[in-house]
Structure 1
């Protein structure tokens, strides 16, 4: 009986080692999941300096709508769904403009109360009262 248990244990150990040596699938192949994101990065406001508005421009989501995510490049957990025409304040962008950090008002809330149209003394993470997220570049009409 000891021999059978030892061989079973050895087989399980070999299988687990084999599984570890397999490369992970590319991140783009990861299934969409609900719940906690793998990465988060708050949107920064005031990155253009203390003499300009906290967020550079007001834009509208294109007709097809878009999803807001927790961080640039993070597409596994959607933070919010934005309908076409939703007004967003673009506060920052990744170096390649592939992602925009935006601030947007919840339903039935005046977007002018988000507090990003006025200058802030120093660049900082947006803390509210509105919502924030990251959207893919090309999903908004800039300055609309």
Structure 2
């Protein structure tokens, strides 16, 4: 999963999102057969970093539930597009299970 898709003038993951379904799987790749690394509860905050080509999957970074405003290193810009290798959970979730939210 990559961050910095919008360029160096924008946050590495510029959209904040909210999980709208219970038990949303976080997968290693943007397809149903990919390994599940964790599941997210309804109401969980996250950062949306990228989309799959078919727009059905979102690449996300998920702060710890205890500190949902922690940027996980993605709230500020990065110099170039790159793979996310920060401390927070990251992966792919179904786009239909996420709603964009204001800052």
TM-score, length of structure 2 as denominator length: 0.88
Matching of residue 127 in structure 1 with residue 72 in structure 2: no
Structure 2, gaps ≥5 residues long: none
- The answer to whether the 8 Å contact 1:65/1:85 transfers is no
TM-score scaled by length of structure 1: 0.65
Task: Indicate the structure with greater strand content.
Answer: 2
- 2:56 corresponds in structure 1 to 98
1:90–1:100: 8 Å Cα contact kept in structure 2? yes
Q: In proportion to residue count, which structure has more helix?
A: 1
| Contact residue 23 and residue 40 of structure 2 kept, 8 A | yes
Indicate conservation of the 8 Å contact 1:61/1:85, yes or no.
yes
Q: Greater relative contact order (Cα 8 A, min sep 6): structure 1 or 2?
A: 2
**Structure 2 SS opposite 1:138:** helix
Please tell me whether Structure 1 or Structure 2 has the larger radius of gyration of its CA atoms.
1
1:80 has 2:38 as partner: yes
Q: Kindly state the Cα deviation for residue 74 of structure 1 after the two structures are TM-superposed.
A: 4.2
Query: How many residues are paired up?
Result: 102
Q: Where do 5+ consecutive residues of structure 1 fail to align?
A: 1-42
Which runs of structure 1 show a deviation greater than 6 angstroms over 4 or more consecutive aligned residues? none
SS of match in other structure, 2:58: strand
Indicate the RMSD between aligned Cα atoms, in angstroms: 1.6
